[in-house]
Amino acid sequence: MSDDEPIEELPLEKLPLDGWHRERGARMVPFAGYEMPIQYAGPFGGIVAEHNWTRQSASLFDVSHMGQLALRGDGAAHELEKLVPGAISNLKHGKMRYSLLLTEAGGIIDDLMVTNTGAHIALVVNGACKWDDIAHLREHLPDEITLTHFDDFALLALQGPKAGDVLEALIPGTGALTFMTAGLFEWNATHLWVSRAGYTGEDGFEIAVHESKVEALADALVADERVQPAGLGARDNLRLEAGLPLYGHDLSENTDPISADLGFAISKKRRSEGGYFGHKAVMARLAEDEAGTLAQRRVGLKLDGRMPAREGAEVFAGETKVGMVTSGGFSPTLEQPIAMAYIAGAHAADGTALEIEVRGKRLAATVTPMPFVPHRYYRGS
């Protein structure tokens, strides 16, 4: 193929609920290889309205683009531990853990959720990365470990302070779940795998359901007056306010867990024992962090005024460029612009005054602890 010959783009895939979204006036956009709803029409529609509804009630997000995988076989948890820095072998039945697939150089291939279902180790990986993740896992896991991709399952996320009451009314028993726990439930003669987790900073659930049953479940959820559908726009604002990184923007193979401020995902035992891809590189970054010599760090920034800074905006300390914005937007909750950026370690302390260049203007910004809006996960009464 010559350099100037156009590369044929693969057609976008459709979600199992594609028609359902369109019937509700969704504006569909390309994301992670799928046509995804970014916002809906109607009195509760629009990015800000959907964002605010999630904060005060409960919103239904379609996240079926995510990859749902299972690892089966003796020692599956132990073998996965060779590829991720989290402690998986001691994960109890029904418990979940956030972790990272790493390269041997300590770069982040993807971030993911790991659950011990009892029958297998379940993984939920990012939609844009899932095929690369599957290839990486197949390459490095032994043949005795079976990897299954549940490509015929949908995934719905019910998020917001009223999500617990809504789901308990529809699926009794789900209300007993606490943050980062999961279980198997039955609704309308259909098995559902329900996890109390999400990507909004609010309480909520992710519900895995066969694609043949997802429309009935979505209809049942939005039949509750406390629930409205919400799209990618609101989800992105919410995750930014929650200080949660997005792979491909805030995380990549060029970032490592320590610089990305994800050191919590590496248990104390695994730090000392190692045995996973990237251990040596990650420990080198950790030593730099402890010595105060870390080259860069992911931080939060609050901006003065109303103009948001978007991904790619350069950050300055005086006339010296010290970093770059990786995610940014206007926070409906705080009513001011916020951003995440990788900043040179010497300028990454909370309270540091910086400037961000946007459209030829310098905007004042301050390094701020994350999350910008406190998490409201349900950890039990």
pLDDT in the model for residue 44: 87
Residue 103 domain flag = no
What's the pLDDT at 8? 52
- Statement to judge: residues 48 and 191 lie in one domain: yes
Let me know if residue 356 belongs to a domain. yes
231 and 156 in a common domain: yes
**Residue 13 confidence (pLDDT):** 96
**Is 307 among the domain residues?**
yes
Q: How many structural domains does the chain have?
A: 2
> Domain span at residue 197?
13-63+152-241
List the beta bridge partners of residue 187. 190
Residue by residue, pLDDT tens for the chain (381 residues) are 444 554 456 789 999 999 999 999 999 999 999 999 999 998 889 999 999 999 999 999 999 999 999 999 999 999 999 999 999 999 999 999 999 999 999 999 999 999 999 999 999 999 999 999 999 999 999 999 999 999 999 999 999 999 999 999 999 999 999 999 999 999 999 999 999 999 999 999 999 999 999 999 999 999 999 999 999 999 999 999 999 999 999 999 999 999 999 999 998 999 999 999 999 999 999 999 999 999 999 999 999 999 999 999 999 999 999 999 999 999 999 999 999 999 999 999 999 999 999 999 999 999 999 999 999 999 997
- 269: which 2 tokens? 């035992």
Residues 171 and 53 both lie in one domain: yes
pLDDT for the residue 293: 96
227 and 304 in a single domain? The answer is: no
Q: Which of 226, 241, 256 is the last residue of a domain?
A: 241
Same domain, 302 and 237: no
Query: Domain with 56 in it: what CATH number?
Result: 3.30.1360.120
Q: Which residues contact 25 (CB under 8 A, 6 or more apart)?
A: 40, 41, 42, 45
Average model confidence (pLDDT) across the chain? 96
Q: In terms of domains, do 55 and 156 share one?
A: yes
- How far apart are the C-alpha atoms of 133 and 173, rounded to whole Å? 33
Domain termination site, one of 199, 225, 241? 241
Q: What's phi and psi for 233, nearest 5 deg? A: -60, -50
CA–CA separation, 142 and 273 (whole Å): 21
Q: In this predicted structure, what is the pLDDT of residue 9?
A: 65
What are the beta bridge partners of residue 70? 122, 148
3-state secondary structure 244-277: CCCECCCECCCCCCCCCCCHHHCCHHHHHHCCCC
> Which of 241, 267, 286 is the endpoint of a domain?
241
Amino acid at 249: H
Let me know if residue 219 belongs to a domain.
yes
* Secondary structure in 3-state letters for 90-144: CCCCCEEEEEEEECCCCCEEEEEEEEECCCCEEEEECCCCHHHHHHHHHHHCCCC
Same domain, 230 and 301: no
Q: Indicate which CATH number applies to the domain containing 330.
A: 2.40.30.110
- Asked whether residue 194 is assigned to any structural domain, the reply reads yes
- Domain co-membership, 217 together with 364: no
pLDDT at residue 46 in the model: 96
Residue 113 maps to a domain: no
Element at 228 (helix H, strand E): strand 227-229
**Which pLDDT belongs to residue 2?**
43
Residue 377, domain member (yes or no): no
> Which pair of structure tokens corresponds to residue 155?
């995934």
Residues 160 and 52 placed together within one structural domain of the fold: yes
Kindly state whether residues 218 and 299 are assigned to the same domain: no
Question: 201 and 322 in one domain?
Answer: no
Give residue 381's pLDDT. 76
Q: Is residue 213 part of a domain?
A: yes
